[in-house]
């Protein structure tokens, strides 16, 4: 029998934050770096792993979470932004793509707070109608190295943060921040209703956010790695997500 105390907890709808996982379809398992969970817990949220295989369950799951984190991982199928795969495109996870893009569209529509991390920032952009460079080498210019050969938490290159953006306020109005970097795909065309909130010196978009959504933020680096060591550009981002998740949803 379900206790009255449990029913009361559920009815209060605590800050349950759904976090997407990596799907390894050939090996038949899912996984997630523990740093994501620790950062959410430290911020006062309740992390719940999203490992759905049935798309019909997505609307039900979206009703129980107060915020959505799209975690890092492999490349996104270019079919979702109207392109064929080109040489240099990496591994894809079809099951994960289907689940995450559908959940993100719902979160955007229903004003559920969203934090997209690395691949997650790219998924957020695609769900809003944007596109990617399938490989960063396809972008013109003198590019930086964006796949660091260094520990996960190590700040590798600088980003320039746009003033008066959500990200600028979250980072305590810092205009230059040093972040880690583990990606080969980058945003090309911004999704509808999104603006750039951070770039690197080579013009790669490192931060994007929705202009008419209470909290829909994508960051190209891995703040959970910085959060694990108490570094800037880390825990404060998760804290901001939990603050947004604590507010009533906007109709």
Q: Which residue numbers are catalytic? A: 118, 222, 224
3-state SS string for 137-191: HHCCCCCCCCECCCCCCCCCEEEEECCCCHHHHHCCCCCEEEECCECCCEECCCC
CA 221, CA 202: separation in Å to the nearest integer? 15
CA 125, CA 121: separation in Å to the nearest integer? 6
CA 33, CA 31: separation in Å to the nearest integer? 7
The stretches of the chain forming alpha helices (DSSP H) are 4-12, 34-43, 58-62, 94-110, 119-127, 166-170, 223-227, 235-246
CA 51, CA 127: separation in Å to the nearest integer? 19
Phi-psi region for residue 149, left (φ > 0), alpha (ψ -120 to 50) or beta?
beta
Q: Which residues contact 38 (CB under 8 A, 6 or more apart)?
A: 224, 227, 228
């Amino acid at each position: 029998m379900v206790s009255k105390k449990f029913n009361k907890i559920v009815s209060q709808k605590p800050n349950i934050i759904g976090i997407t996982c990596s799907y390894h379809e050939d090996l038949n398992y899912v996984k997630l770096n523990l740093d994501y969970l620790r950062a959410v817990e430290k911020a006062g949220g309740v992390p719940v792993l999203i490992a759905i295989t049935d798309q019909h369950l997505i609307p039900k799951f979206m009703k129980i979470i107060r915020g959505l984190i799209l975690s890092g991982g492999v490349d996104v199928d270019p079919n979702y932004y109207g392109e064929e795969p080109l040489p240099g495109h990496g591994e894809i996870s079809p099951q994960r793509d289907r689940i995450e893009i559908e959940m993100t569209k719902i979160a955007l529509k229903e004003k559920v707070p969203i934090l997209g991390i690395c691949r997650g920032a790219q998924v957020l952009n695609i769900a809003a109608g944007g596109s990617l460079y399938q490989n960063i080498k396809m972008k013109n210019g003198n590019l930086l190295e964006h796949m660091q050969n260094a520990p996960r938490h190590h700040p590798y290159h600088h980003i320039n943060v746009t003033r008066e953006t959500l990200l600028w306020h979250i980072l305590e109005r810092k205009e230059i921040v040093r972040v880690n970097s583990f990606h080969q795909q980058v945003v090309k065309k911004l999704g509808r209703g999104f603006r750039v909130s951070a770039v690197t010196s080579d013009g790669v978009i490192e931060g994007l956010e929705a202009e008419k959504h209470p909290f829909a933020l994508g960051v190209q680096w891995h703040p959970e790695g910085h959060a694990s060591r108490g570094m800037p550009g880390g825990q404060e981002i998760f804290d901001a997500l939990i603050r947004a998740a604590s507010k009533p949803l906007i109709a």
